Structure 1
Amino acid sequence: MPAHLLQEEMSSSYTTTTTTTITEPPARIVQNGEGNSEKHLLHAEEDIRPEMKDDIYDPSYKDKEGPRPKLEYVWRNIILMSLLHLGALYGIVLIPTCKVYTWLWGFFYYIISALGITAGAHRLWSHRSYKARLPLRVFLIIANTMAFQNDAYEWARDHRVHHKFSETDADPHNARRGFFFSHVGWLLVRKHPAVKEKGGLLDLSDLKAEKLLMFQRRHYKPAVLLMCFVLPTLVPWYFWGETFQHSLYVATFLRYAIVLNATWLVNSATITPSPMTTPPVSTAGTST
């Protein structure tokens, strides 16, 4: 066989056809205010979870025009929060004179409490970011009770509303209302009617079906009294002879205030209000 024919035969036998398929990124269809359909690309991992949809930002919701309702102050919360932080400030003064084991105990209690919020109420129950077996869920519900930031059901409900209607009046701690409001002010006033309205429309059947969450919700007040206040105060006093004053103000009031403010700072210090024409930064790739 001539050399040029042999070369052509070998070339044809090694020729392959490559087909490239371009897959369109996942998206969802949303009805805009004019009745037209718009396609919105999904950016975050939680956006494509088949079992969770109620914590995904809804760009179709717009605030109603007109002035906001007059603020209704919750004086009980204002007084209790003020007393707590005064106690925490006094706890700072007492740190140099407390036993080493006491502030180590307070730090340990802080870490466990924080896990009850971050790994429990936030990642597990608000976003369903992972699945947990019963022993881990029991640990997290105990840790969540130690943190005393409302029961996990209520925490998850409010957080889902925050993500779905972020930076609107339906957002419990709307960043557009200023640093103080998104930090702690939202806990010192009655909820905006839009928060109650939209929160009542969410599908919370997954939370209601979890017996552990409902058990905590039924027994929350006595459980919080024991886990957030009585236990952290009595342990230093009983086991290593700490004074009751140091136990109460350092291991309990100061520790609790730090846990609260660490959580609140996620709402106030790390989220910048975005322009009205763009989705909130907190919902595109992260779950705050």
Structure 2
Amino acid sequence: MSTKSKSGSSSISELVKTVVYALLIAAVFRTLLFQPFWIPSGSMKPTLLIGDFLFVNKFAYGYSRNSCPFSACPFSGRIWASQPERGDVIVFRHPRTGEDYVKRLIGLPGDRVQVKDSLLYINGTPVDVKVAPDFVEPYVAQGLQTHPGSRPNCINVPAAQGGDCIKRREIETLPGGVSHEILDVGETRADNTVEFSVPPGEYFFMGDNRDNSIDSRFSQSDNGVGFVPFENLIGRADRIIFSSAGNSLLAFWDWRADRFFKAIR
């Protein structure tokens, strides 16, 4: 074999090694530290908008089998576990479908949670709610605000193509002091619920877009989330890295620069 051939083989070998090492580092980073996550729906508006891109903090609560892609970590339970706090925005694995969801943690193990006339009660006590300016965004058919073929829920129904969709905005303060924005568009079947008793080792989640969120208020048999086991928590959503209101990352005119590196509260 000529010197030139040996040099070519060596270059290919080094390239393969570099690619393998890069993939291994990326896999470790994604499994143990931060997992990228695109916001695909409006259930957490106004905290998270469709098109927000964030990294999920995976070491916030320790690791379970769901910390690995395809739930492939070879152990049960949780290692280096740390309990989540009420009000955390968390990405978790749906107990039945295995899909990744992002919602706000409302009920801890042992809590009693109920919604009456759109007001959240925790352990029999209503949370503090203050009125805030309305949430307004344009309704664009086939846009990112809503799924193709459907219309957004607005208080000014029906919202016209290209017009404003208006939702009532409030500031909700949970026990422990976490305050965050929620949206309300009127009476829905989720505005009045039974009282839920959160089992040990499980959690109760709700979306901030209260009338447009399939969450723990709905049982899994009703295509909802139900209670979520501790093992299913993937990580805490701490900060938005990038955000775009468009369908292409190259469409810089759709970038929402005011949301870049924004803390999630």
Tell me, yes or no, whether TM beats 0.5: no
What TM-score, normalized to structure 1?
0.25
Which protein is richer in strand relative to its size? Answer: 2
Which protein is richer in helix relative to its size? Answer: 1
| Bigger Rg over Cα | 1
